[in-house]
Structure 1
Amino acid sequence: MADTAPTAQQRSPLAHAAERLAAVTRASAGAIRLAELPFLAQLNVRLDPKGATADDVGLSLGIPLPLEPDTVVRAGDLTALWLGPDEWLVVGRPGTQRDLDSRIRSVAADEPVSVTDVSAQRTTVLVTGPRARDLLSHGCSLDLHPRAFGPGRCAQTNLARTQVVLVARDEPRSGFWVLVRSSFADYLKEWLLDAAVEYV
């Protein structure tokens, strides 16, 4: 039988760039802050939004699945993102994916529900600061003005020709999450660092 025990500590896609990202905050006097939020639990959930199971899943998680397009619901450590009419991304603290998966499946019973752990597929870059919207607008075609893309909004879009899930966080001064595929994280990091030069 093959030994499946990890032989090295898990390493995030942008662990090597933590100091370069932090340097932007110092150089911009806080106008831009870039940081990786590694290893967030991420579960892709698909089910009938009009069925009773959608309500049951919300109750089991303690957070309702948002039904309005491109919106976010947050409660405690959990965030649910609307990705499509029957698709959501549930994001939680690192290491909670098995618990979240179990809670969803336990209430699904025989209903057609798909739960896929995509935690290793993406990493999350936090972009905050007074100039965060300006920075992201350089590479994103969405209208990021707060009236159009304010707190509690999300979108699957392109940022610097990279597919991302962009989330406007709802806490004061909390900025944006940029969920990017791990294989594109380094490219996006370099683009963000280059675009931030204007503010340092």
Structure 2
Amino acid sequence: MAQQNQDTAGVTIEDMAPQARFSLRVRPEQRAALAAVLGLDLPERIGTRASAEAGEALCLGPDEWLVIARDGAALTQAARASDIPHSLSDISDREISLRLSGPGVLDLLSAGCPRDLASIPPGGGARTLFESATVVLWRDGETDFRMDIWRSFTPQVRSVLEQARIDIAAGL
């Protein structure tokens, strides 16, 4: 992890190690069959996620999942061997992930996100906006989030997060 910061705002922001990340699209009626082929659990409800030996999947839409694979090559090979129509796109290089944790994390994220973040349950997630950047938030615990950001928006998102930390620490 390249960078970690914590201050009196009570939030730690750290870079996460790169991961094999995929965008998966499959028709709802073929979801279960493809999930079995890939060795993944693909949740049906938007905003829910599931873990399996092959990785973790977050449902972003009725036919769309963000997949974090433990072995990207194995997942790709299983997908290629399948005769189930689907789209599996490797987006590993498109995004970086930050871990945001601590008692002030909801305040920090609310500085740039219009969504009611407290309504995302631990174990859930959502695609949303942070300032003008599209991000995916994974809520790992009451005070723990992961944020996936397109690389080109990373400087902007980091700037807003750092300013929000300063403001929270100052009681603004």
Same fold (TM over 0.5): yes
Within a 5 Å distance, the mapping from 1:50-65 to structure 2 comes to 50-51=29-30, 54-65=31-42
Gaps of 5+ in 1: 1-13
The structural deviation recorded for 1:85 is 0.9
Residue equivalent to 1:8:
none
- Aligned mates of 1:189, 1:166 — CA distance in 2: 15
Which structure: greater strand fraction?
2
2:92 matched to 1:124? no
User: What TM-score, normalized to structure 2?
Assistant: 0.87
Q: Which one of the candidate residues 108, 111, 122 is aligned to 1:151?
A: 122
When normalised by structure 1's length, the TM-score is 0.76
Q: Which amino acid aligns with 1:125?
A: L
Deviation at 1:126, TM superposition (A): 0.9
Distance (whole Å) between structure 1 residues aligned to residue 68 and residue 130 of structure 2: 20
Q: Deviations over 1:143-175 (max 9, x none)?
A: 111xx2111222211112211111112xx4661
SS in 1 for 2:134: strand
What is the CA–CA distance in structure 2 between the aligned matches of 1:194 and 1:76, rounded to whole Å? 38
CA distance in 2, matches of 1:55, 1:74: 15
Shift of 1:63: 2.9
Identity of counterpart residues, as a percentage? 30
Change beyond 3 A, Cα 1:90–1:161: same
Larger Rg: 1
The CA RMSD measured in Å over matched residues stands at: 2.1
Q: Which amino acid aligns with 1:80?
A: A
